């Protein structure tokens, strides 16, 4: 395959002028169940311990786990820092690209389908076709989708960055689904991870939710395999309430049929977008014809939309659907198509680990 066909454009962190990233706040070791210690020294460095679970199919590490650090992280994200957060693609393109293990394929097992917490009786299957339009601001998607903000330590200097994510139905009512490179890239865990649901033009109508625990696939953690660019994180309660109790939760499904009608949502922040509004694409998906095992959708969203949800059975009236992939990457030579990972057993392992953390 010609080398140009291997050039990938990740759609997440755009911190400008990235050089070599700083040492990780937390490292996940493979082949051991022993947690690796990491020190949280400030509000801008709140990542705790990391632990690998290779026999379970996921890797996990801690974020802000105490009320004090959660308050610090929440305070860190003032309006100025929110505005300064850049999409992730330039960070990766100017430092290193995630590897693409084209031969790796998601494990297919039992199909299962969890309905949304809201609107579950009115799922749909529209045949709409659009490659990028502003969502009108109504329905469950307007509250469950949001921006993901985080920092990367660059030699002691914190660089702010952004992705997208969505709240999903879960046992602990506290899970956000996003892309793997939105929680970890270049072998380094991101810090100060927060979720802002319903973000619109700088407003935070439902508050800022601080990540306590992050989860990603073994494949993304070990070699940043683009076929497994999947992550979830758990957020702490805010004002005594869990995330899904406040904003609702979308459904989620695994091991579903390919080439179905899907909707993609995100907060693209690279031109011609500015991250201020929720944008969506819709159409029938394809299989990546170049080299990955991912799904493809005609979509002109740009950097910052990474981690945004792809829905099956999406109903435009209720804004509810079932998450079955996330925005992951584009090929440099064909910016008209977005690609997202197949949600197989590995994605299910990540989700289940996250949803059962602290569940009663």
- Which position has the token pair 């860190």? 76
Percentage, residues of the chain above pLDDT 70: 75
Given pLDDT bands bounded at 50, 70 and 90, which one contains residue 109? low
- Cα atoms found within 13 Å of the Cα of residue 8, Cβ hemisphere only: 29
Q: How far apart are CA 337 and CA 318, in angstroms?
A: 27
Provide the pLDDT confidence category of residue 119 given band limits of 50, 70 and 90.
low
**Among the listed ranges 22-31, 73-82, 249-258, which one has the minimum average pLDDT value?**
22-31
- Rounded Cα distance between 101 and 326, Å, is 18
Q: Give the list of residues 6+ apart from residue 310 with CB closer than 8 angstroms, or none.
A: 262, 263, 264, 285, 295, 297, 323, 324, 325, 326, 327, 340
Cβ-proximal residues to 282 (8 Å cutoff; 6+ apart), any chain = 126, 128, 129, 130, 261, 262, 263, 264, 314
181 Cβ contact list (under 8 Å, min separation 6): 10, 12, 13, 88, 92, 98, 163, 220, 224, 229, 306, 328
Paired with 279 in beta bridges are: 134, 266
pLDDT the model gives residue 4:
30
Average pLDDT over residues 231-259: 96
Task: Say whether pLDDT at 105 is over 90.
Answer: no
The reported pLDDT for the residue numbered 88 is 73
310, 264 contact by CB (below 8 A): yes
Burial of 113 (0-12, 13-18, 19+ CB in 10 A): middle
Q: What is the pLDDT of residue 165?
A: 97
Domain covering 8-101+144-248: architecture: Beta Barrel (2.40)
Mean pLDDT within 340-357: 96
287-310 residue pLDDT tens: 999 989 999 999 999 999 999 999
Which pLDDT belongs to residue 241?
96
Domain boundaries along the sequence of the chain: 8-101+144-248, 121-141+251-345
Instruction: Please name every residue paired with 136 in a beta bridge, in sequence order, or none if there are none.
Output: none
Q: Give phi and psi for 107, each to the nearest 5.
A: -75, 130
> What does the alpha-carbon distance between residue 162 and residue 10 come to, in Å, rounded to a whole number?
12
With cut-offs at 50, 70 and 90, classify the pLDDT of residue 122.
low
- Which of 9-18, 83-92, 121-130 is predicted with the least confidence, judged by mean pLDDT? 9-18
Would you say the CATH fold of 121-141+251-345 matches that of 8-101+144-248? Answer: yes
Rounded average pLDDT over 252-263: 94
Q: Worst-scoring range by mean pLDDT, 17-26, 191-200, 326-335?
A: 17-26
Per-residue pLDDT, averaged over 311-326, amounts to: 93
358 confidence band (pLDDT: 50, 70, 90): confident
> What is residue 225's predicted lDDT score, i.e. its pLDDT?
94
* β pairing state of 329-331 and 334-340: antiparallel
Least confident stretch, 52-66, 114-128, 206-220, 231-245 = 114-128
pLDDT at 35 over 80: no
Look at residue 2 in the predicted model and tell me its pLDDT. 31
The whole-model pTM stands at 0.83
pLDDT digits (tens, 9 = 90+) for 164-221: 999 999 999 999 999 999 999 888 899 999 999 999 988 999 999 999 999 999 999 9
CATH number, domain 121-141+251-345: 2.40.10.10
**Dist CA 58 CA 61 (whole Å):** 10
């Amino acid at each position: 395959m010609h080398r140009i066909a291997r050039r990938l454009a990740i759609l997440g962190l755009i911190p400008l002028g990235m050089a070599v990233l700083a040492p990780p706040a937390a490292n996940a070791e493979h082949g051991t169940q022993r947690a690796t210690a990491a020190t949280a020294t400030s509000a801008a460095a709140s990542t705790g311990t990391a632990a690998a679970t290779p026999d379970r199919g996921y890797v996990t590490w801690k974020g802000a786990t105490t009320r004090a650090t959660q308050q610090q992280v929440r305070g860190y994200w003032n309006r100025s820092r929110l505005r300064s957060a850049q999409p992730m693609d330039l960070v990766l393109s100017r430092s290193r690209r995630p590897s693409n293990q084209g031969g790796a394929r998601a494990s297919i097992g039992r199909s299962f389908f969890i309905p949304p917490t809201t609107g579950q009786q009115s799922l749909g299957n529209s045949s709409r076709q659009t490659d990028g339009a502003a969502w009108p601001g109504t329905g469950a998607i307007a509250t469950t989708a949001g921006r993901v903000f985080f920092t990367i330590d660059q030699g002691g200097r914190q660089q702010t960055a952004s992705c997208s994510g969505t709240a999903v139905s879960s046992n602990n009512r506290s899970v956000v689904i996003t892309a793997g490179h939105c929680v970890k890239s270049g072998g380094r865990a991101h810090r100060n991870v927060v979720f802002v649901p319903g973000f619109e033009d700088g407003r935070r109508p439902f508050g800022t939710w601080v990540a306590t625990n992050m989860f990603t696939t073994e494949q993304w953690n070990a070699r940043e395999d683009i076929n497994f660019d999947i992550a979830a994180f758990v957020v702490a309660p805010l004002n005594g309430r869990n995330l899904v109790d406040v904003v609702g939760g979308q459904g989620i499904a695994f091991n579903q049929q390919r080439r179905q009608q899907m909707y993609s949502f995100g907060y693209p922040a690279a031109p011609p977008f500015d991250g201020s509004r929720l944008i969506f694409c819709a159409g029938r998906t394809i299989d990546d014809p170049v080299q990955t095992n991912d799904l493809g959708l005609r979509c002109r969203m740009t950097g910052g939309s990474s981690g945004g949800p792809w829905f099956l059975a999406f109903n435009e009236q209720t804004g509810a659907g079932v998450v079955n992939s996330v925005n992951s990457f584009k090929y440099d030579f064909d910016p008209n198509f977005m690609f997202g990972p197949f949600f197989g057993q590995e994605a299910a392992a990540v989700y289940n680990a996250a949803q059962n953390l602290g569940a009663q």
